[in-house]
Structure formats: C-alpha cells, structure tokens
Amino acid sequence: MANLNMLNAAKAVTSATNPNWSSSVPSGIKTTAQEANDALTAKSGQSGMGQKDFLTLFTTQLKNQDPLDPVKNEAFVAQLAQFSQLEATTGMAGSLDNFVSSQSGQQITTSANLIGKKVSVANGPAQLTAGMPVEGIVNLPTGAEGVKFQVFNDKGILVNTQVLGSQTVGDLKWAWNGGDDAGNPLPDGVYQFKATAVSQGKTTTPTVSTMASVVGVSQAADKTVVLQILGGKTIKLADVTRIDG
C-alpha cells in the first residue's frame, strides 16, 4: 500500500480546529486529530501513513473543522486525488519491478540453451581441439593492402604467422588449422590471436573475433546475463553477434 507523509497535515488539522472548542477541552484529554498525530509519530521508523491512516485523519479533519470557516470541498477533493494518484503510481512501479524481475529470470533460462554452442567473442581465446580448425572474423571497414595474423599459445609464445594479401571492405573470415609455421600440429589448448592490417598507408590492429564455446551462464548484480567462455573469458549476452551450433 502506498505511503503518504501526512504528519504536517495532522498538524494542519490541529490548527484548523475551532479554537474556542479546543480551549474548552479539559487538560489531559486529546482531540481525535492529536490522537491520529501521536499514533503516526509512535510508529517506529515510519514517517508516513497508509490508506487507512489517511482516511482516519481525513475524517478527523472533517469533524474538527471550524463550522464558521469550513474547508472548501475543492481542497478535500484535491487531497483525495493526490492520494489516489500516489497510490496508483506506486502500484504501477511495483508492477514494473515484478515484470523486469520475471523477464530477467526468463532470459537466463533461455540463455542456458547456448551452453555447448559457439559464439563470436571479440579479442577472446579459442580452444584448439583434436586439430579442428579455429575460425574467426576481422572487420576491415576500409579494406586492406595486406593483413597479418599471429597465433599465440597460453604462455604468450608466438606459434604461427599468416600473411594475406589485399582485402576488400567488410568482414574477413579466416581459419587456422592448428599447426605451427612448419605445418606441424600443435597440442590442444587455448590460443590467442592478433591481426595487423595496412590500409591507406596506416597500420592498425583490428579486433579479431573468434568462435568460442559457451561453458556456463550467470547473471550479474544488475541483472545482465553473462556467458562463461571456454578459456576463462566472460562476455555479456548483448555483445554476442554470432552463434554457431
């Protein structure tokens, strides 16, 4: 139930009470408005009221208004409208929170289907298994006069170099067969890749995206779905641009 800070309103009710009637009340006897105010103040750690408290205070205000100078109907209607609007807004916010939470849970459940599949990982490692080719993509927005690929093992040692000629604008797909410069097969493991391109007389190091296997799915504190990639890297689901079965 929405809460509305009405302590100041309670004070306003007391001040609006007929002064002549108030002065005639014996010492030690509290008015209804004072009782409502004290009840609110006594609530530990709570500085507002719910709908029931609001209506109690509202009716008390009606009972204790000065009959010679009553509060206008428009003022009462405005108070009720403000309370209803606040209650509706709070209810809507709660509904949206519940919707977001349910969607987050559904997203991580759906993402679990990616486990065992390969996704595109920017600057990520790739697993060499049984000599199966490792594939990757390099984006060349201006093309290139030449491109060099370098392969490093998990210790950072350069094990293979490939030099390609002129390339057109767009994605350059490449594959590494798992061998060293002499063509000898390298052991299974995790390898890293680096590309160097020469375009329009400038040397750049474009991002190399490799296809890596998903081994796990988790959810960050901000509800972002994160994929664990074989080789230790993690990426956000939103950053995945390609999925292979």
Q: What does the pLDDT profile of the chain (245 residues) look like in tens digits?
A: 444 444 344 444 444 444 444 444 455 545 444 554 565 555 544 445 556 666 677 677 767 777 777 766 677 677 667 767 766 776 777 777 666 555 555 677 777 888 888 888 888 788 888 878 888 889 899 999 999 999 999 899 999 999 999 999 998 988 888 999 998 999 998 899 999 999 988 999 998 988 888 888 888 777 788 888 876 778 888 888 778 76
Both tokens assigned to 208: 């190399």
DSSP secondary-structure letter at 131?
T
- Give the closest residue to 213 by CA, choosing from 239, 238, 185, 235: 235
User: In angstroms, rounded to a whole number, what is the distance separating the alpha carbons of residues 127 and 158?
Assistant: 16
Both tokens assigned to 220: 């960050």
Sign of CA dihedral 182, 185, 190, 196: positive
Both tokens assigned to 174: 């490449």
CATH class of the structural domain 115-244: mainly beta
At 230, give phi and psi (nearest 5°). Answer: -55, 125
The residue type at 164: L
Where on the phi/psi map is residue 27: left (φ > 0), alpha (ψ -120 to 50), or beta? beta
User: In angstroms, rounded to a whole number, what is the distance separating the alpha carbons of residues 105 and 20?
Assistant: 63
Domain ranges of the chain: 7-106, 115-244
Is the pTM of the predicted complex or chain greater than 0.85? no
Helix (H, G, I), strand (E, B) or coil at 22: helix
